[in-house]
Structure 1
């Protein structure tokens, strides 16, 4: 190769391209060892999108870079690279992906390729492999504004972003309304930087639980669903819609699924591509209904949500966000259309003082809560909690639940497995204690934020009317298998036994005609 590089590898997420980047790449390829070289734009995390960390999906970024290359007359190609967990061989993934994606190019080696990068850790990894690395933004003083700073400026409402970005970036952002989408995404009150509800959730177990429960859930909500345009809010991996799509009554319906969790939607899209849905009119959308409308006004015949609204309560602002959620559903519902919601619920008399007696002999004791669980992996947390007695789990719950959920939850230990607390607080523990696989994630969530009556007041308050079949129910399987074997409730004043309260609610809310 006579010492000349024929490729310039330019790795990055490339959510924006700046004027300076194009100028610097021109300098690199104008003379010296990389004169006339082809720039390879390696777009990392290309299978991520619509998150604060990766606001633009990979195909949009690929189109953006291609547009810049064409307009700038800067020889280049684009290679999408999938996201992987952080590891010390990431540069090898990038170079191998380039090689397999574009086999007609010279092999990406230190002899053929110069690396352009201003991220110290990434640059060091390529240098350790023998690549010559040249800087980009860090070659001038003060350091040039980078592409991610452009995204942050846009998110913050700083109009000067458009002067830093390459003109083709500005045109691209305006064409695809990135100018509005990025600020809305960064302002999302619920979803994390990676587009999920919480970093402690294991979506493998959640997906399995959703899929396994889909048929049972359909038995509950199915009689109330209506054909037409149907929207499953919090669709997870599409298990309910898969069953609905197979029902003859919905053969002509348009079925939509919306969720905020990227891993679950990816599975739903995979199922769709595999032909899992008998009705081909199925679409999936990643969105958060709290951040804005997900469907046009008065366009949906039937919305359904399963085990979702308690998450809105927990990860949002409590009841006000549930009211906002209900208002958004009302807005997109046709007159005469319905919203069918099934979820956990608190007791009708949440403030009743009770004494909760728990078994102390079904596991290890715990004199004081463990304060190191946040530093353990999911399996480590599960191992700790699973080994505790029911009473000891209460000790741990009393530490984890208030700090993670933000709830005003209190319990007075009376000794010998007895606790004095509100009935709603007792049920918060009893309905959470067996979720050891996702203990920290579950301790974020409040199951008893609303009572059945509270639901009725909320729904009628925003303009719905309740259809027959709405109301609270008690899951007797939970009573038989989760509550009664290890716990007992008594009135704190009289000492009389207290019957197990309702655990779930079904609401069929109709938008009135007119």
Structure 2
């Protein structure tokens, strides 16, 4: 086995070794890396760019093609001979090194071996995977012979995200150039500092997106039928477009064939599905575009440039994962700003009852499942399938106990009889409209459906500057009442008089005044 040897600070590659394999995400390149790699007296640098299919996430804010551009410029300026290979993300595996080597072989025809390759890697866990295969390691920033410990690229990127301009002194000029030309400084700061988006590019790490896509696709025709007459041709934007099901229906409308259809989705899984559909020719309109963005992170569209904005089942997530009304107001202002005068924002979502603080008596079935002594505190440590099986096993009354334990918006209730509780109406409806979402229980219990009533929604939209179309209204989904709620629950006032079930949803058609 050949070894890389150091002599007077110069790393010499054995005559049989011709390559330096440099695996990493490589979002930012540093001056230290340039100096370190220049110490190799011979060899081609093979850059294995991991998470190459990820972008716009906290862990991977820069798209692969920009990373590749910076590496190529870095190599040109440093006089290095480089090959850049994208490595798509995969589930954590001890075979990571083998997968990377096979990907490189397929992409370049190079079969890298310990006899001809040194691995440059400062992450001990990753280096160990290559050492296990017999590869010699050049430890880069982790080199114990260095007089001072250099900052790792990710730490420099975090300086940038924090607004610390000293990142420019540590980053290589190739990275600075690419970041400035493609306005990546703002992109990185927005994505890394985003309070709503998780590390992997979604609002929650516990959601089963397969179930979510199927449910949204099933409801797409109903949603489109409810809003179609309010849609104005021109630039039509669906924010939180999921897998693009509503835009597929818009694409079939003859009256919209000259419109731009634009989908915006923050969740990486769903955005990828949209891009896949477009590549497969699902859309006939040539002007269909998709962006992976979080609207709260900054303006996406120019002011007064969008005729129609659609949001379906989105605003309650902004409320839930943000700062409730503050985040929702900020979102509404973004929509107002990009809406053209006379344009429209159509919002369809869940809604709380007008008297959501009213105390009521909620009678729940105890005969439709198990009734343990109390809620389990450990569901977060179980697999999603284990959570599903357990919650499904509970009676409706016991499920309320579990919901109260897991719900991110604390509420109280008082047991007043066999299966009966005294509870605020809003909390009761939050539970009743969520109790059957067992596939995504831990995700759904992070979200509040009844944060705002229709009257409060109307006030917020008016505050922003919108005018509500008469078609705007609170709605009760009677199918949910008749099939999910009424069979296992009943509602009375505190004196025992039966109460009608309240509204569950809203349709808001908010127009920007033509002179606004």
* TM-score bracket for the superposition, by shorter chain length: over 0.9
Per the TM alignment, residue 97 of structure 1 is displaced from its structure 2 partner at its CA by 0.5
Q: 1:457 to 1:274 in 2, by over 3 A?
A: same
Does residue 256 (structure 1) correspond to residue 262 (structure 2)? The answer is yes
- 2:437 is matched with 435
The residue matched to 1:42 in structure 2 has which SS? strand
- 1:135 is matched with 139
- 2:48 is matched with 42
- 1:325 is matched with 331
Per the TM alignment, residue 325 of structure 1 is displaced from its structure 2 partner at its CA by 1.0
Report Cα offsets for 1:312-342 as digits up to 9, x if no partner.
1101110111111111111111111111110
- 1:13 is matched with 25
Does residue 412 (structure 1) correspond to residue 441 (structure 2)? The answer is no
Gap runs ≥5 in structure 2: 3-13
Does residue 170 (structure 1) correspond to residue 182 (structure 2)? The answer is no
Report Cα offsets for 1:176-207 as digits up to 9, x if no partner.
11222212222212111111101111111111
What is the CA–CA distance in structure 1 between the aligned matches of 2:263 and 2:487, rounded to whole Å? Answer: 38
- 1:118 is matched with 122
What is the CA–CA distance in structure 1 between the aligned matches of 2:232 and 2:376, rounded to whole Å? Answer: 49
Per the TM alignment, residue 3 of structure 1 is displaced from its structure 2 partner at its CA by 6.0
- 2:16 is matched with 4
Report Cα offsets for 1:195-250 as digits up to 9, x if no partner.
11011111111111111111111111112111111010111111000110111011
- 2:82 is matched with 76
- 1:269 is matched with 275
What is the CA–CA distance in structure 2 between the aligned matches of 1:290 and 1:22, rounded to whole Å? Answer: 37
Do the aligned partners of 2:475 and 2:505 also contact (CA within 8 Å) in 1? yes
Per the TM alignment, residue 114 of structure 1 is displaced from its structure 2 partner at its CA by 1.1
Does residue 400 (structure 1) correspond to residue 402 (structure 2)? The answer is no
What is the CA–CA distance in structure 1 between the aligned matches of 2:22 and 2:480, rounded to whole Å? Answer: 56
Report Cα offsets for 1:334-368 as digits up to 9, x if no partner.
11111111001000111111011100010111211
What is the CA–CA distance in structure 2 between the aligned matches of 1:296 and 1:84, rounded to whole Å? Answer: 36
- 2:228 is matched with 222
Structure 1, 483-492 or 2-11: larger mean CA deviation: 2-11
What is the CA–CA distance in structure 1 between the aligned matches of 2:167 and 2:326, rounded to whole Å? Answer: 34
What is the CA–CA distance in structure 2 between the aligned matches of 1:447 and 1:141, rounded to whole Å? Answer: 57
Which residues of 2 match residues 350-369 of structure 1 at below 5 A?
350-369=356-375
TM-score between both structures, scaled by the size of structure 2: 0.95
The one of 36, 43, 51 equivalent to 2:57 is 51
Which residues of 2 match residues 304-315 of structure 1 at below 5 A?
304-315=310-321
Do the aligned partners of 2:66 and 2:178 also contact (CA within 8 Å) in 1? no
What is the CA–CA distance in structure 2 between the aligned matches of 1:6 and 1:351, rounded to whole Å? Answer: 72
Structure 1, 430-439 or 314-323: larger mean CA deviation: 314-323
Does residue 503 (structure 1) correspond to residue 504 (structure 2)? The answer is yes
Which residues of 2 match residues 207-218 of structure 1 at below 5 A?
207-218=213-224
- 1:33 is matched with none
- 1:25 is matched with 37
Runs of 4+ in 1 over 6 A off after TM superposition: none
Does residue 472 (structure 1) correspond to residue 474 (structure 2)? The answer is yes
Do the aligned partners of 1:3 and 1:111 also contact (CA within 8 Å) in 2? no
Per the TM alignment, residue 25 of structure 1 is displaced from its structure 2 partner at its CA by 1.1
Structure 1, 108-117 or 234-243: larger mean CA deviation: 108-117
What is the CA–CA distance in structure 1 between the aligned matches of 2:386 and 2:286, rounded to whole Å? Answer: 42
Number of equivalent positions: 501
What is the CA–CA distance in structure 2 between the aligned matches of 1:25 and 1:186, rounded to whole Å? Answer: 28
The residue matched to 1:444 in structure 2 has which SS? coil
- 2:7 is matched with none
What is the CA–CA distance in structure 2 between the aligned matches of 1:244 and 1:298, rounded to whole Å? Answer: 22
What is the CA–CA distance in structure 2 between the aligned matches of 1:468 and 1:225, rounded to whole Å? Answer: 15
What is the CA–CA distance in structure 2 between the aligned matches of 1:67 and 1:454, rounded to whole Å? Answer: 54
What is the CA–CA distance in structure 2 between the aligned matches of 1:76 and 1:294, rounded to whole Å? Answer: 35
Do the aligned partners of 2:313 and 2:349 also contact (CA within 8 Å) in 1? yes
